[in-house]
Amino acid sequence: MENQRLFIFIALVFLGMMMYSEWERDHAPAPSAQTAPDKTSGNTSPASGTVPTPVKTSDSAVPNAVPAVKSKTATISGRDNKLDSTRRIHVQTDFLDVELDTTGGDIRQVKLVKFPVDENTPDQAFEIMTDKGSRLFVAQSGFSMLKGKGPSHKAQYNSEKNSYALSKGQDELKVKMSWTDGSGIKVTRTYTFKRSSYVIGMDVKVENTGKEDWLGSFYRQMQRTHFAESQGSLFVMQTYMGGVIYTPDELYEKISFSDMQENNLARGNIKGGWIAMMQHYFLGAWIPGVDEVNNFYSRYDDFRYYIGMISAAENIAAGSQKVFSSRYYVGPKDQNSISKLTPGLELTVDYGFLTVLAKPLFWLLNTLHSVFGNWGWSIIFLTIIIKLAFFKLSEKSYRSMANMRRLQPRMKALKERHGDDKQKMNQALMELYKKEKINPLGGCLPILVQIPVFIALYWVLMEAVELRQAPFMLWITDLASQDPYYVLPILMGISMFLQQKLNPAPLDPVQAKVMMFLPLVFTVFFLFFPAGLVLYWVVNNTLSIAQQYVITKRIEAGGK
């Protein structure tokens, strides 16, 4: 009976988490596509926003010395939300399909070649970055000047070619752009693309052949709008979309869209670290040099969200030169690869408050996948391992429930004898439990232990990009999405009904009727859960039924 109440507790826990997820989504800043029309043409410029204010060298250690923002919006006319630019440069590698803009040298569009939009369109690459429509997401960089001239993200660069492609046998591809002000300052921007990599290297060389010193700060930023990702229904908790920063002192910190809208981020004198914009399964991140010192900033301007970094002002004497180097990662939140790029980047795979359980579960799941080569079978064997780990605990629970089931006729007799006198009824039950040496709460602990494991596995299946569009068998073509034919949720409901039959029935007839609806309630919940999670629960229930059936029959036959 207590065990059945705990099933209701699980449902309430998930319902509460899902309602909180919905509340967060309802109270988040409104997506820009619905609320930010241009005042003149119906479009807004993807490069709107002013150049960050340079940071003086003496200010680099002051947390408040961050870029000031002028709330002024640039607008354009025509051409479907595209910024008027001289040229687009197309770059094709085995992993990335990229468009660079000669205006500012921005990274304007990125498609991930190895990740289809869905399993039904395998030839259509997922577009993570774009400057078109409502899903705007671009990466920008440039100089903010104190002395002399330098190119911001609005400057016009020159490029020798309009397209580049990584050819067969070629491991590296370099794309160069140049800018000059005619007075002795030349800036050469070089993007480096490598085979089988989502990292874009960027070297910006400033050559001062003039007669005066050059003094400016180098900034990198990302700009995007907020849009709602489609992740199912009310019954599926939403994953995080927004900004993230990582610093050696504060480590991993989310900077949500609402945070950006309410206050400008101001973090000074940050050595190393990184900044990112993340969404479900994917992210874009600027990674500076490990010894580079920057101020981190965010801002909100005309329904656009910015997160960036700006260095202390660098002096380049006449006749000298300097190279500003960075890396930009744009791709999946693949835990194995991103952990090698820079400290803390793997934390963007956000398992929430149960990370301490989720990480070992994913490690074990990944290890099993290296053996079986199929994520579905890996989940099945992971379930078996978890079941074996809790075998003795479950055995005690099922013995307790079997003994309770054995006492059902005597418990009913006590109820008939004492009628509606609940106090005497409970006293008689306690005496019966004591005489038979039965703990009525003995069946609760295994369920309580499984709740955090269940929730942790939920987030593993929701967050792990490795399971995105991962097929199992037959009709299950994506373990991270709901079962299209609802076969697994129905099997789960049936297994829960059978397991309920092995449990002692409540003495209260009203409660007994409510419990009969519990499998149906859970089936409705699980209709919208990832198929991989439902697969785990079906296998777990099946193993539990087998174990509980054997123990129950043994005790009912007079065994121990």
The answer on pLDDT for 78 being more than 70 is no
Asked if 213 and 207 touch (Cβ cutoff 8 Å), the reply is: no
The answer on pLDDT for 386 being more than 90 is no
The answer on pLDDT for 428 being more than 80 is no
Using alpha carbons, list the distances in angstroms from residue 3 to 188, 368, 387, 398.
Answer: 69, 31, 17, 10
pLDDT of 250:
86
Sign of CA dihedral 301, 306, 309, 313: negative
Selection from 162-166, 424-428, 523-527, 549-553 with the highest mean pLDDT: 162-166
Asked if 129 and 112 touch (Cβ cutoff 8 Å), the reply is: no
- Distance, CA of 46 to CA of 82 (rounded, Å): 7
The answer on pLDDT for 2 being more than 70 is no
Per-residue pLDDT tens over the stretch 186-236: 999 999 999 999 999 999 999 999 889 999 999 999 999 987 665 544 455
Asked if 298 and 244 touch (Cβ cutoff 8 Å), the reply is: no
Which stretch of 12-26, 238-252, 350-364 has the lowest confidence by average pLDDT? 12-26
Confidence category of residue 9, pLDDT binned at 50, 70, 90: low
CA angle 223-229-230, nearest 5°?
165
- Distance, CA of 407 to CA of 439 (rounded, Å): 12
- Distance, CA of 244 to CA of 262 (rounded, Å): 16
Of the chain, the percentage scoring pLDDT greater than 70 comes to 75
- Distance, CA of 285 to CA of 139 (rounded, Å): 9
Confidence category of residue 294, pLDDT binned at 50, 70, 90: very high
**Burial class (CB within 10 angstroms; exposed 0-12, middle 13-18, buried 19+) of 443:** buried
Label the pairing between strands 282-288 and 199-208: unpaired
pLDDT of 43:
33
- What does the DSSP 8-state code read for residue 382? H
> What does the block give as tokens for 87?
């040229």
- Distance, CA of 103 to CA of 230 (rounded, Å): 32
Which stretch of 67-76, 351-360, 544-553 has the lowest confidence by average pLDDT? 67-76
- The domains of the chain, with CATH numbers, are 135-151+170-350 (2.70.98.90), 359-556 (no CATH)
User: CB-based contacts of 60: which residues, under 8 Å, 6+ apart?
Assistant: 268, 269, 293, 295, 311, 312
The whole-model pTM stands at: 0.80
